[in-house]
Amino acid sequence: MTTVVTPPALEILVREPDGFSLWNGPPFTNDQPSVKLERAPCKSAGFSEDGSKLMVMKSESVISIYDCSSYKEIRSFEVPNVLAAILSPCGTYLQTFQKSTTPQEKNVVLWIIETGDSVYQLFQKNMTKTTWPSIRFSSDEAVACRLATNQIHFFDAGDLSRGIINRLRIPGVAALELSKTTGSHVAAFVPESKGVPASVQIFACAKDLQSQPLARRSFFRCSSVQLSWNNGSTGLLVVVQSDVDKTNQSYYGESKLNYLTTDGTHEGLVPLRKEGPVHDVQWSYSGSEFAVVYGFMPAKATVFDKKCNPLLELGTGPYNTIRWNPKGKFLCLAGFGNLPGDMAFWDYLEKKQLGATKAEWSVTSEWSPDGRYFMTATTAPRLQVDNGIKIFHPNGSLYYKKMFDKLYQLFLQADWKPESPDRFGEIAELVKSVGSMKIEESKPQGQAKKSSQAAAKPTTAIPPAQKPAAYRPPHAKSAAAVQAQLFGGSPSEQMSKNALKNKKKRDKQREKKAAEDASAANDA
């Protein structure tokens, strides 16, 4: 008899100014999410990569760890003057960064969550994107390493109390990226120096195999890089960014996409078919394909295989973001940031577009772990108005929308609880679920999809807030009247006293001039 494994329920972490709460994810009962964990005060919160643990920073000195199977607090850490904290991918360790006054004070501490003991300490002067977290783990926590001056330090991931067990010397190394499952390789970036071009090198994590890099690629005019490993640790995508575009075609510099493999079979540029910057790139969950958005607007999107052969052209449009469904079936192309928020949903296996819609002013976006829902969020401090969450079906129809009316000093966070896509249904089930949906592209953006099962008045577990009005500066209050005067039409707002007074003065001057012109014509 075949045992039926029930997939885990989806969950959404929402953080507002007064704390965080946990919602039960879609599908919602009565079209509204229910609260799984009541709101609690915090400064920051985040899941481990595998979704087994939840870290909540309650104050500048208290960090609590929750077991996500029961959401009971399993450990609390007292860490004075803590500035940042992060969980290891499997939730085994907690890493904290504290304010430091002297180099003798070791301000980065690695804690074992199960026992609460400190297992390793070190000093770090400051915290940047390339130096935090200080100790990096592969997704399976099989490898742990740290970036140091001209070196990469490796640790025994099973017993970090042993300290550094291996040093890989790479002169000038400025950034590293460990491969994902399996954690077998590390990529190192060395910037330009004294006429020597920048380079990205791939090394094996095993000490016996580190005598020579497995792959290497050099770049001229390189200021920074973005490194992206595939699942399986066989391929590395490198977006090379230069601050200056010598062709003067872009104010933001120029970028190129390079591809390297751990077996050395490919080291070169990805053949993109349009000039312009590389906006976004993402691997599929299988690690066999990657999708790229590139080129001057309207940007172009293409899916490539592991040999850099184009598999599917996704057309052009105002896009700078691509998100691949965790099950590998659906793709979302979007234009966020300074673009108007257009989104196009594609079925990669059927090679057809399913629908299109808009999600204006979105800051974050991600597929749910089961691949059935796509969530966008408008968050502060990036944007102080129109903060909210929207959830879409894979065909672009809006499933749920909630706006938040606390606009100032707000830091809204909305994240799916991580789960392995392997724990959910196969692609065939997704095809069936998408086929039963009704695409509603003409529906206004602000309306949620009306379900046939929700004919009765729904009960609101979390009442939706009204959409806040946008802030208008004082100098713009009479803008409608000025536009009406310049371009015709009636002003949408009542004019201010000063504007009305000036308008009457101008009208009298026009009447006076018209009378003088008429008198002069009669005299002639």
pLDDT digits over 127-141, tens only?
888 888 999 998 888
pLDDT score at 473: 59
CA atoms within 13 A on the CB side of 292: 29
pLDDT exceeds cutoff 70 at 430:
no
Instruction: Supply 489's token pair.
Output: 């039409």
The 10s digit of each residue's pLDDT in 378-397 is: 887 777 777 888 999 999 99
Identify which of 85, 105, 104 has the alpha carbon closest to the alpha carbon of residue 95. Answer: 85
pLDDT score at 190: 93
Task: Say what the pTM is.
Answer: 0.75
pLDDT exceeds cutoff 50 at 489:
no
Which residues belong to CATH 2.130.10.10 in the chain? 143-269, 273-417
The 10s digit of each residue's pLDDT in 313-335 is: 999 999 999 999 888 889 999 99
pLDDT exceeds cutoff 90 at 443:
no
Q: CATH fold of 42-137, please?
A: Thrombin, subunit H (2.40.10)
pLDDT score at 228: 92
Higher pLDDT, 440 or 320: 320
Which residues belong to CATH 2.40.10.480 in the chain? 42-137
Higher pLDDT, 455 or 277: 277
pLDDT score at 439: 39
User: With DSSP H G I counted as helix, E B as strand and the rest as coil, what are the percentages for the chain, rounded to 5?
Assistant: 10, 40, 50
Whole-number mean pLDDT of the chain? 80
Higher pLDDT, 292 or 410: 292
**If pLDDT is split at 50, 70 and 90, which confidence band does 3 have?**
low
CA distance 9 to 51: 12
The H helix count followed by the E strand count for the chain is: 3, 36
On whether the CB atoms of residues 205 and 154 are closer than 8 A, the answer is yes
pLDDT score at 524: 59
Domain 143-269: state its class. mainly beta
**If pLDDT is split at 50, 70 and 90, which confidence band does 309 have?**
very high
Pick the CATH number of 273-417 from 3.20.20.80, 1.10.3720.10, 2.40.70.10, 2.130.10.10: 2.130.10.10
Which segment of 6-10, 146-150, 180-184, 435-439 scores lowest on mean pLDDT?
A: 435-439
**If pLDDT is split at 50, 70 and 90, which confidence band does 410 have?**
very low
Mean pLDDT calculated for residue range 216-237: 89
**If pLDDT is split at 50, 70 and 90, which confidence band does 487 have?**
very low
CA distance 340 to 400: 20
Q: What is the DSSP letter of 128?
A: -
Mean pLDDT calculated for residue range 397-419: 67
* Angle of CA points 479, 484, 489, to nearest 5°: 145
On whether the CB atoms of residues 242 and 255 are closer than 8 A, the answer is yes
Mean pLDDT calculated for residue range 238-258: 80
CA distance 346 to 395: 8
pLDDT score at 486: 44
pLDDT exceeds cutoff 50 at 465:
no
pLDDT score at 11: 87
Mean pLDDT calculated for residue range 487-514: 67
pLDDT exceeds cutoff 50 at 248:
yes
pLDDT exceeds cutoff 60 at 310:
yes
The 10s digit of each residue's pLDDT in 22-81 is: 888 888 888 888 888 888 888 888 899 888 999 998 888 899 999 988 889 899 999 888
